[in-house]
Amino acid sequence: MSELWWWPYVMIVVAGWLATDIWRWLGVIVGNRLREDSEILIWVRAVATALVAGVISRLILFPTGALGTSPLALRIAAAATGFLAFLYFRQRVVVGVLVAEVVLIAGWYLL
């Protein structure tokens, strides 16, 4: 075996660190200088919200795998119930997600 068997592992760690950690530190440095109500942060928040909405829409309308076996009405009901729970319980994301999951799983068992 070669004396430098560990070199690819070092490169993976270094490349993985460079690809992620540097951007995190730059985000912290730049983010500290931005106001919370600045135009750029409002835009970033809007884009992030749109991406999440797109992923949720895709999961509801065009599911794959086991989720694809559930009826569309059940997926819509679970999402709507989860959203209402999110609003009712002071906009707690965990509550909304858990309620939606309970409705979806219960619907699978009842059907």
39-89, pLDDT tens digit by residue? 988 998 999 999 999 999 999 999 999 999 999 999 999 999 999 999 999
Q: Is residue 49 part of a domain?
A: yes
Domain count, the chain: 1
What percentage of the chain carries pLDDT values higher than 90?
60
Distance CA 28, CA 22 (A): 10
- Global pTM? 0.68
Q: Is residue 11 part of a domain?
A: no
Parent domain of 41? 34-110
Q: Is residue 100 part of a domain?
A: yes
Q: Is residue 65 part of a domain?
A: yes
Judged against a pLDDT cut of 60, whether residue 1 lies above it is answered with no
Distance CA 97, CA 106 (A): 14
Q: How far is CA 31 from CA 2, 48, 97, 100, in A?
A: 45, 16, 29, 33
* Residues 111 and 101 sit within 8 Å (Cβ to Cβ): no
Q: What is the mean pLDDT of residues 6-19?
A: 84
The band of 3, judged by pLDDT with boundaries at 50, 70 and 90, is confident
The band of 2, judged by pLDDT with boundaries at 50, 70 and 90, is low
